[in-house]
Every structure is written in structure tokens, then in C-alpha cells.
Structure 1
Amino acid sequence: MRKLSLASNLGLIAWVALWHAYLSPHPHLNAWAVTIGWLVPLLLPLPGLIKGKAFTHAWANFILMFYFLHALTLIYVDEGERWLAVAELVLVSCAFWSNIVFARWMGKAQGLKLPRLSQVEKEEKARFESAKGEE
């Protein structure tokens, strides 16, 4: 799953660079400036993704949501770039899904588990009542 995550994230970086620099550069703006602007957010989590850090895989999905919304918007409004946006959507979806699965697997392997909300509420209630009883 880590390899799929890394491949889809790197594929998205390559696709965004190819798209904005060569396939469909913005007609009124510097193509390289636009490309760099689109690439910088994707490059931020790259060191952690390469090292296989589960936390980085998890928070990288927040960045991917921007590209997910971008792809959906272009699919809906821009017939000329629709196929480019579909490719972006596929890569983003693959990266998002594989990041989630990898982070979850690594969390379980490291013994990290979020308790159920009902269990947290019971523990908080018990602490509150014991503190109240001590007064």
C-alpha cells in the first residue's frame, strides 16, 4: 500500500507539472509560475511520504482535497480540460485512498488506536465523579 501511495502521489506531481507547463498552460499567466504554484503544496509532504511516515500520509490528504475539488470543478465546468481533470481525479483518489489505508495499517502495527467515543465519555464521567467526590 505504501508503494501505491508513493506512486500515486509522485504521479500526481508529474501530472500537475505536465498539465500546467505543457499540455494546457494558462493563456494569460506565466506557465512556469502557475506550475510552481500548483506543485508547491504537493511537494510539502513528499519527504515524509518517501520516508514512510504514517502521520505524513494522513495529513497529506488535507492537501489532496484541494486537488480533488479542482478536478471535480473542472470536470463540471470546463469541457476543454475535462479529460485532464479526470486524470487528476483518478490520481488524487488513488493517493487519498492509499494514504488512508497505509496510515491506518501503520497505526495498528504501532499499537496506536483511537478509543471509541463512548469509552472516552465513560472515562471522563468517572474522572469527573471521582474528583467531585473528593471535594
Structure 2
Amino acid sequence: MPRQPRFYRVLTQLCYWPLLLFVVLWHTLLQDPDSVSLPLPLALLFWVLPLLFPLPGLVKGKAYTHAWFNFILMFYFLHALTTLYTHPSEFWLALVELLLTSGAFVGATGYARYQGRAQGLGLKKQRQD
């Protein structure tokens, strides 16, 4: 894998924007009408709002935002895995969500790691006396 922060930033962007659009489309147009459990406004609030929290930091390229963005991505990762198992009718939708989430996770992790090092950020090692 490359050790350039730019590669990981591009990977994050290439997966984040389609993921955001895909989540909106899934819960508005693509969802099986028989599996609807929440009213549309509540579903959009629940599924889209968490993806909007890191938006300013992701656009600005902040390493710290990329790092904590992974915690939000785990919500979508688990949703995709659960849907793959429990809703065979939405298999392809869940697979797309899983791939986009995984790509964003790898990109955000790599960017936070290498950009953080380039900026001199990181955990300080404790002195051993």
C-alpha cells in the first residue's frame, strides 16, 4: 500500500461521497416497501445525519477528523453486515454499502496515520526510567 497521504485522502473521498448519496437513495427510492420500519424523515435523520458530522473536516483534510470518522463508519459497516444476513432481498444494496464503507475506512485510517505523522501528531511514547 502507498505511504502517501494523498492516495488515502482520495480513497476516502471516492468512497465517502458515493456512500452519502447511496444512503439517501437507499432509504428514499431503493428500499423494499415491505421492510420500511421508520417514517422517511426519521429514517433520513437517523441514516444521513451521522455522515454529515465529519463533512467539514473531511473537506479540509484534517487528519483528526479522518481518525474519528472511522467510529461513524462502523455503524454503517455493521448495518451492511446485518442486512446481508437478515434481508436477502436487499443483498446487493448491503454489499454496495459494505464496499463503500470498507473503502472509506481504509482511506480514512491511512490518511490519519500518514498525514498525522507528516504533521508531527501522534501518541507520545512514555519514558522508561
TM-score with structure 2 setting the length: 0.85
Partner residue in 2 for 1:95: 104
How has the CA–CA distance of structure 1 residues 57 and 28 changed in structure 2, closer, same or farther, with 3 Å as cutoff?
closer
Partner residue in 2 for 1:13: 20
Partner residue in 2 for 1:54: 63
Aligned residue-pair number: 120
Unaligned runs of at least 5 residues, structure 1: 127-135
Of the two, which has the highest radius of gyration? 1
Partner residue in 1 for 2:9: 2
Alpha-carbon shift at residue 107 of structure 1 (Å)? 1.1
Q: Secondary structure at the match of 2:123?
A: coil
In structure 2, C-alpha distance between the alignment counterparts of 1:61 and 1:113, rounded to whole Å: 17
Partner residue in 2 for 1:131: none
Alpha-carbon shift at residue 106 of structure 1 (Å)? 0.5
Alpha-carbon shift at residue 51 of structure 1 (Å)? 0.4
TM-score with structure 1 setting the length: 0.82
Q: Percent same amino acid at aligned positions?
A: 49
In structure 2, C-alpha distance between the alignment counterparts of 1:84 and 1:28, rounded to whole Å: 17
Partner residue in 2 for 1:64: 73
In structure 2, C-alpha distance between the alignment counterparts of 1:2 and 1:107, rounded to whole Å: 12
Counterpart AA for 2:117: K
The higher relative CO (CA closer than 8 Å, separation ≥ 6) is in 2
